[in-house]
Amino acid sequence: RRMVAGLGTMALATLVPKSLWAAAIKPDDGSALLVIDVQNCFLPGGSLAVKDGEQVVPVINKIAKSFANVVMTQDWHTPGHVSFASVHEGKKPFEVIDLAYGKQVLWPDHCVQGTDGASLSKELAIPQAELIIRKGFHKDVDSYSAFTEADGKTTTGLAAYLKARNVERLFVAGLATDFCVAWTALDARKASFETYVVEDACRGIDTQGSLAKAWDDMAKAGVKRIKSSDIA
């Protein structure tokens, strides 16, 4: 007894299966992993490379083994998409403009339909993924969220798909934390899904305070911030 009492929590953690000692989260049939925009354009060498973006891939591959349901998204823009700085006279990437539907950050050209940059990373190893949602394919409307385009009303159909398949809990991972991951997680809450963001399975762009604001907005919306090691 004294021996056990003398063991620190670190030692206990190595002796006792995680499922018994921590608040391990075990994905069930009502859970889905959403893998957001793990595409070449957002990876090293890509036109909108997210710092350390490649580090999410092994983490996502690992947690995906715990999920029966995996949905991936693909940013999928037309050439000359409204979110590209190149189509706005005198504007540079990362500047913000006002469009009919609200503020729009302008980006380098990225994820153009059918290009290699728009392809999902070849390093993703998630053969059971059952659906790939493409978004941002309307030339005049962006769509960071996997659920709703930036006009705030055009749906991708994802919420209805998930509900039809009795999915209630969503785990969100991928790129970028402060744009497509955050907007997806916020819309997931609006659609009443229990929502987790797996922080070490995401990386952010962080322009003009966007990363801190995204975590703040997600916390306020009831998004739960977890680590991949919390998933059993």
Q: Which residues are catalytic?
A: 37, 135, 180
CB of 146 to ligand VGL, least distance (A): 10
Among the listed residues 56, 60, 63, 75, the single contact to Zn ion using CB under 5 A? 75
Beta bridge partners of 134: 74
SS3 48: coil
Specify whether the CB–CB gap between 91 and 81 falls below 8 A: no
Residue 179 binds: one of Zn ion, ligand VGL, none (C-beta under 5 to 8 A by kind): ligand VGL
Q: Which does 230 bind (CB under 5 to 8 A by kind): ligand VGL, Zn ion, none?
A: none
User: Distance (Å, rounded) from C-alpha 212 to C-alpha 209?
Assistant: 6
Using CB under 5 A as the binding rule, whether residue 230 contacts Zn ion is answered as: no
Distance of CA 78 to the CA centre of its chain: 21
Compute the least distance from the CB of residue 48 to Zn ion, in Å. 7
- Residue ranges binding ligand VGL (CB under 6 A): 37, 42, 75, 107, 144, 175-176, 179-180
Give the SS3 label for residue 11.
Answer: helix
Q: Which residue has the tokens 């987790």?
A: 196
Given the complex with ligand VGL, which of 159 and 175 has the nearer CB atom? 175
